[in-house]
Structure formats: C-alpha cells, structure tokens
Structure 1
Amino acid sequence: MNSNLNYAALVLAADRTANDPIALKAQVPCKAFAPIDGKPMIIRVLDTLIASPTVKSITLCGPPQALLPECPELNERILHGQIGWITNQNSPSLSAAKGLEQLDPDIPVLLTTADHALLTPEIVEYFLKSASDNEYDATVGAINYEIIHAAFPESKRTVIRLQDGKYCGCNLFAFKPRGRLLVSYWQKAEAQRKRPWKLISQTIGWQAVFKYLLGFLTLNQALSHIEKQIGLSVKIATLPFPEAGVDVDTVSDLMFVEALLKKKAENT
C-alpha cells in the first residue's frame, strides 16, 4: 500500500435539476448554498477537504458562475485562488468527466459532492488510505446500511440489497490515472441510481439481475462483473462511519442533518 499519495479533490456542486426542492426550501439559488446550522453546505465540504492532509488541491465543478456572488464566502475563495472552479455540465457524470479533463492526468483524484454535509476529515483520510492500495485503479466508498440504521434509524437511504448485506453509497470515489475511465461507465448507470435492479441490469448484465432478484448476488460478485465490463480493477472501500452514508438529497435530509449538527454543536 502506498500511503504517501496526495490527491486532487473534485467536488460536484451543481443542481441536478431546475427548481431543486432543497434550494426552494432554503430560499437560495442552488442546493449547495443551502445553510445548515448557519453554514452553506458547500462551505462545510470545502472546510473538511482543506482540513484533510492528503488532499492537496480542490476544484469545484459548478454551480454556474452567475450564481457564485450569491455565496460570498465561496466566491471569495475562488477569486483568491484558494479553490479552483469550472463550469458544470448537464449531469453529474458529465461534470465529473469534464472536471477530470482539467486536472493533471498523473495525479490521483478524490471525487465527492457538495451535499455531503456530514463529511469529516476522519472519513476522508480513512477512505483515501484505503484507496491508496496500489492494486486498484479506482475505489468506491460504500457502507453497510445496518451501520447507518443503527446510528440514524429515522434517515431514509437508497439501499442495494445483496446476499451478504445491504449497502449504501457514500458519494466518495477515488481514481488513479487509469481509473478515471470508470467515469464513462458511471454515465451509463447514472439514470438508474434510484432503481437498483435497473442499475444492475444496465451495468453488469441480466445474469446478475437474476441473482440480485433471487437474493444470491454478493458484493464481490457484483464487483467482479463490473471489472469484466470495464477492464479496470475496482475496490469497494466499506466505511465504518454512519455519517459517510448520509447526504442531503431531500428536504427531510436537510432537516435531519441540521438537527444532527445542532445537537452535536450543543454537546461540544
């Protein structure tokens, strides 16, 4: 394992659709600016990445340039060169592909999202230490749903149910130079992210779908199918932190995360 790798962070920060419900609820021009306990989500994510020793540079993909003055703290960081900014594309996967094109092709990349409001330096460093394994081209963060449910039983997450457990994504991806090819595969899967069986059928084939529906598909089998499809070695890094599996995807998520952070602040 090479634990000395430094990473460039790429943060996807544009809304998926117009009139995002979270932005409307918070009365801000885009979801990433929604304040949680007084601080915009995007600033929380940036502060976490800045505090993570393994992250050496940060680039935002989105939100649109015209909106940046609406978040003065973010705009100031961009204007002073503390973080980079590029315009977003029409979907997260296209934005990720565009962002990767702008970064040094020889530097490993951490990809995450602006709505990962509970992200901490501890989570980032744990994930990147796992991702630095020389055997793998790319690493995808995941968490056993039972860990999330035990800590936050009221939080509703998208779950992929496999024979060896229920798993949730963490919006954490790491790419070695060759592993960046995984993003083109992501474009194929993006439209089905909330429909696990369609996601599996379009990305790893119908044989895997039948196993999935019958409860026979394991995480390692799913990973093996993916590796055969794309010709890359991919690692699943299962994380022990319940916060890693909670992003702000809905208005109820926003309210839940805000209550959680307020309670945490009161106890410190």
Structure 2
Amino acid sequence: MTSPIGVTAILLAGARPIPDPLARAAGVAVKPLVPVAGQAMISYPARVLADHPAIARVVVLTQAPELFAADPQTAWIAEHPKILFETSGNGIASSLLALMDRADQTFPLLMTTADHVLLDAAMIDQFVDEAAGADIAVAMVERRTLLARYPQSRRTWLKFRDGWWSGANIFWFGSAKARPVIALWQDVEQDRKKGWKILAAFGPLALIGAVLRILTLRGGIARIGRRFGLEARLVAMHQAEACIDADKPDDVVLIEGILAGR
C-alpha cells in the first residue's frame, strides 16, 4: 500500500501536574527538554516527523511553547517551516478535540510523544501504510519482538490470546468518526471515577473477552471499533524499538546505547 501524503503529525510535549523525575534530575523545566545522547529528547521525533515525505506538518502540543523557543537545543523546532506550536489544554483528549474541530484541520492525524526518541522513518512508513483507511489505529509491539532484541527492557504488557502486547505510543485518527472515542477518553481524563461507565461503553463481550483472554488483541480492537461504528485497527510494529520510550533512567541508558550503534 502507498503511504498517503498530507498527514498531520501531532507531537505531544506537555508536562504533567506532578514534576517529572527525569526533568528534575536533568535540571530542565519539562521532560521533553531532558538531554538524551547530547540532544533534547524532543529533537529526535520532531526531526524524523518533519523530514518524512508523508507528513505535511507537525503540530507540537504543549502548555509552554516559549520554553522550546528559548532553549538553544530546541530553537530550531520553533523556526522550522513545517512545525508549529499549539498551546494544549487541561488534557490530551480535550486538546486533540479542539485541534480536530478547527476549520483548517484535515485528516488523517498521526499522534506520538516527545519521549519517542527512537522513532524513525521505517516505523512511520509501516504505521502509515497499515493504518491508512482506518478511522482509528494503534501501534503495539508483541513481547517476543522486543525480548528477542532487548531482553533487559521492562515494559507493561497486556495479555491476549495472540500474545503479550505493549503500546508503541503511535496513534492514528483517520476521520472525524474518531471523535466519539476521543470524547470518551476525555471523560476518563476528567473523572477517573467514571471508569466503570467507560468500560461498559465498550460492551460486556469485549470486557469479558479481555479478562478471560479469549480475544486476540487485533480482533478485540476491531470489535470495539464496530461498537462505535468505525474501523479500528491494530498495527503490530516490526521494530522492537517502537515500544522503547524515554520514561525512566534505565530507558535513557538503553536508548543511548541504541543510538550509539546506529
């Protein structure tokens, strides 16, 4: 399949209310400015996204755009003609909805995070090719793919009939049909006590299937999509590095080793 041209990439570069341990240890204001192998971590995914031919523009969502413009290591991001900053709201979902509702915004959207330091063009190629045509897609890595390359890496795994899966922090919103799912996500962000209502919205079969491990992840995602009247798709990433983000000091050490070998 040929990758669609004109994708808007959304790069999440916000800060949580609680100070980030990596940022505090590095003496920087926000986590995306934490140095990894001599560069602010956000520089890696920002450059890969800006250089990719399928990406028409990159929108950096953050509460404090001025921090990146003022930092010598990230000033280039603020000056890049393909990149623009948008001030994010109280949560990711609400900020995403506001962006989707703008008159000048077109689909599809690809969303990733500033700590996705190992993101590369091959990952974008695979994800965009396999997500194209879906209303929502999510990138995941199966445990055997990661452990075959990096047995020392520790991730959070979801167990399904077709394996153990970890998120790769790459998401696809192919049409406005994705809006109700994001609105549901917004409800979770605003009131986590509504969790049982959110689970109920996905339907008892999907919930029971996940608990009893009788669903494949691919089939479960497709079924949830049908529940919302849209096409939802799993993209099983080929590269183990797709699920290694710079979240903990051990991650940074591993990532720097991988970068040194590239």
TM-score (norm 1): 0.85
What is aligned with 1:142? 140
The 2-side partners of 1:200 and 1:223 are apart by 15
Find the counterpart in structure 1 of residue 119 from structure 2. Answer: 119
Query: Can you list the C-alpha shifts for 1:131-150, whole angstroms capped at 9, x where unaligned?
Result: 22x3x212211121210121
CA distance 1:164–1:207, change in 2 (3 Å): same
Equivalences for residues 98-177 of structure 1 within 5 A: 98-102=98-102, 104-132=104-132, 134=133, 136-177=134-175
Query: Contact (CA 8 Å) 2:11, 2:114: kept in 1 or not?
Result: yes
Distance 2:245 2:98 in 1: 23
Task: Report the alpha carbon displacement of residue 238 of structure 1 after superposing the two structures with TM.
Answer: 1.0
Pick closer, same or farther for the CA change 1:248–1:99 going to 2, 3 Å.
Answer: farther
**Closer, same or farther: CA 114–102 of 1 in aligned 2, 3 Å:** farther
Q: Do 1:49 and 1:55's aligned partners in 2 also have CA atoms closer than 8 Å? A: yes
For 2:205 and 2:190, locate their aligned partners in 1 and report how far apart those are by CA, in whole Å: 20
Runs of 5+ in structure 1 lacking a partner? none
Query: Could you report, residue by residue, the CA deviation over 1:186-231 in whole angstroms, capped at 9, with x for unpaired residues?
Result: 33566999xxx98994563444333333322222442244124322
Cα 1:123–1:220 change in 2 (3 A) is: closer
Deviation at 1:106, TM superposition (A): 3.1
**Following superposition of structure 1 onto structure 2, how do residues 188-199 of structure 1 map, counting pairs within 5 Å?**
188=187
% same residue: 27
Q: Report the more deviating stretch, 159-168 or 229-238.
A: 229-238
Q: Is the counterpart of residue 57 in structure 1 residue 77 in structure 2?
A: no
The 3 A distance-change label for structure 1 pair 105 and 77 is: closer
Letter in 1 for 2:250: S
RMSD: 2.7
SS of equivalent to 1:170: strand
Residues 13 and 113 of structure 2 are in contact (CA less than 8 Å); yes or no, is this contact kept in structure 1?
yes
**Mind listing any 5+ residue stretches in structure 2 that lack a counterpart?**
none
- The 8 Å contact of residues 14 and 88 in structure 1, kept in 2 or not, is answered as yes
Q: How does 1:80-91 map to 2 (within 5 A)?
A: 81-91=81-91
> Partners in 2 of 1:3 and 1:66 — Cα distance?
33
Q: How many residues end up aligned between the 2 structures?
A: 259
2:41 corresponds in structure 1 to 41
Q: Distance in 1 between matches of 2:232 and 2:54?
A: 21
Judge conservation of contact 1:110–1:175 (CA < 8 Å) in 2.
yes
Q: Quick check: 1:18 aligned with 2:23?
A: no
Deviation of residue 76 (structure 1)?
4.0
Distance in 1 between residues matched to 2:73 and 2:200, nearest whole Å: 41
C-alpha distance 198-225 of structure 1, shift in aligned 2 (>3 A)? farther
Which stretch of structure 1 is more off in the superposition, 205-214 or 6-15? Answer: 205-214
Q: Does the CA contact (< 8 Å) of 2:43 and 2:77 recur in 1?
A: no
TM-score (norm 2): 0.87
The residue type equivalent to 2:19 in the other structure is N
Equivalent residue number for residue 227 of structure 1: 225
Is 1:22–1:254's contact at 8 Å kept on the other side of the alignment?
A: no
| Cα pair distance change 1:186/1:198, threshold 3 Å | same
Deviation at 1:92, TM superposition (A): 2.4
Q: Deviations over 1:88-131 (max 9, x none)?
A: 22222223223333473433111111110000011111111112
Equivalent-residue separation in structure 2 for 1:59 and 1:14 (angstroms): 12
Deviations 1:145-174 (A, max 9, x none): 210121111111111100111111111112
Counterpart of 1:185 in structure 2 is 184
Residue 178 of structure 1, CA deviation: 2.3
User: What amino acid is the match of 2:251?
Assistant: D
* Aligned partner of residue 155 in structure 1, secondary structure: coil
> Counterpart in 1 of 2:215?
217
Q: Which residue of 2 aligns with 1:241?
A: 239
Q: CA deviation at 1:254?
A: 2.1
